[in-house]
Amino acid sequence: MDSVQEGTRHVPSEHGLLSKTFRIKQLQKLGVNFDSWDFVVALAGNPNTGKSTVFNSLTGLRQHTGNWPGKTVSRAEGGFSFKEKSYKLVDLPGTYSLLSTSEDEEIARNFILFGQPHVTVIVADATRLERNLNLALQILEITPHAVLCLNLMDEAKRKGIDVNVKSIEKQLGIPAVATTARYGDGINELLEAIESVAKRNWIGKEPDAISIPENIEQPILDLEHDLRAIYPNLPNTRWIALRLLEGDVRIREALLNNEFASIINIYNQPPLDLNEELETINKSQASS
């Protein structure tokens, strides 16, 4: 059951989703006193990359846990402020890809694709970049608004691995930041990179476009046209069209079951008006 941890007590949510009223009260207790979120940041990465340590370094104690809607997979959300702007940080399940062969991968994919966070921070193990960059490339197929966090740099140095951060940054076309989150190294630089992408101030070299043969490009365009006709609000129809042509069974099932329509509704809900909710709480307490 979805729950929020409050000391040693677990408070259940309503219908698998965190109660809006309880969420606000809980965030206030944890020190997240923002009237609204200026930016939403997703935190993605392979398992065992120190992603949770990065999350804790950014949010401190300003965080709460629960379950993803309709899922048994736990989620963590937190908040931080930087240069007078407030950020909501959502920790996605650790996953090796977005090809939806598992529940974790499906959750991460859906949030990046449909939630459309302002920034997606991709945490990678600096000692295993060949494996970790596979996820980074898949995320960049969905959104260019990303930051690569090259974590565990202390271990890379200890193993004699020389990571050329600037070269990686240039080739991917997104900011790359070297960190050792457990010691706080590079966290300030990571915050600067997040801010730059969130405010769309980042100016990087466009990554080399993938050349697609004309006989494949036309079916992609045809599929995009059909998808937009059925789901006018569906983001990144090109990515979905590519997955369909690759034979992605899970994407096909989601289309046949009209699952995308309900997912779009979930992620297109208007943001919480915290002032309105707090007024509701105060009125409720006054009348009780």
Task: List the one residue out of 264, 212, 214 whose CA is nearest residue 242.
Answer: 212
**C-alpha to C-alpha distance for 106 and 12, rounded to whole angstroms:** 24
Residue ending a domain, choose from 169, 189, 208: 208
> pLDDT tens for residues 199-224?
999 877 666 556 678 888 899 999 99
pTM for this model (two decimals): 0.73
Please give the share of the chain, as a percent, with pLDDT higher than 90. 41
Establish if 169 belongs to a structural domain. Answer: yes
> Contact at 8 Å (CB) between 165 and 156?
no
Task: List the one residue out of 3, 41, 1 whose CA is nearest residue 22.
Answer: 3
The reply to whether 222 and 147 lie within a common domain is: no
| Measured CA angle at 199 (ends 139, 168), to 5 deg | 45
The reply to whether 122 and 251 lie within a common domain is: no
Task: List the one residue out of 108, 89, 88, 100 whose CA is nearest residue 46.
Answer: 108
Rounded to an integer, the average pLDDT of 99-109 is: 81
The reply to whether 70 and 199 lie within a common domain is: yes
The reply to whether 181 and 228 lie within a common domain is: no
**C-alpha to C-alpha distance for 70 and 218, rounded to whole angstroms:** 37
pLDDT, position 268 = 54
Establish if 76 belongs to a structural domain. Answer: yes
> pLDDT tens for residues 5-14?
333 223 333 3
> Contact at 8 Å (CB) between 8 and 76?
no
Residue ending a domain, choose from 163, 193, 208: 208
Domain that holds residue 236: 210-280
Close Cβ partners of 12 (under 8 Å, ≥ 6 residues apart): 1, 2, 3
The reply to whether 261 and 134 lie within a common domain is: no
> pLDDT tens for residues 64-75?
777 776 677 877
Using DSSP's 3-state secondary structure scheme, residue 234 falls into coil
- The mean pLDDT of the chain is 79
Establish if 64 belongs to a structural domain. Answer: yes
pLDDT, position 107 = 85
Rounded to an integer, the average pLDDT of 28-43 is: 64
pLDDT, position 263 = 64
The reply to whether 121 and 160 lie within a common domain is: yes
Using DSSP's 3-state secondary structure scheme, residue 195 falls into helix
- Which CATH number covers residue 221? 1.10.287
pLDDT, position 243 = 84
What is the token pair recorded at 168? 């990686």
Say whether pLDDT at 25 is over 50.
no
**C-alpha to C-alpha distance for 116 and 231, rounded to whole angstroms:** 16
182-212 as b/e: b if 16+ CB within 10 A: eeebbbeebbebbbbbbeeebeeeeeeeeee
The reply to whether 191 and 224 lie within a common domain is: no
Which one-letter DSSP state was computed for residue 161? Answer: -
Say whether pLDDT at 35 is over 60.
no
**C-alpha to C-alpha distance for 104 and 72, rounded to whole angstroms:** 10
Give phi and psi for 88, each to the nearest 5. Answer: -100, 125
Using DSSP's 3-state secondary structure scheme, residue 48 falls into coil
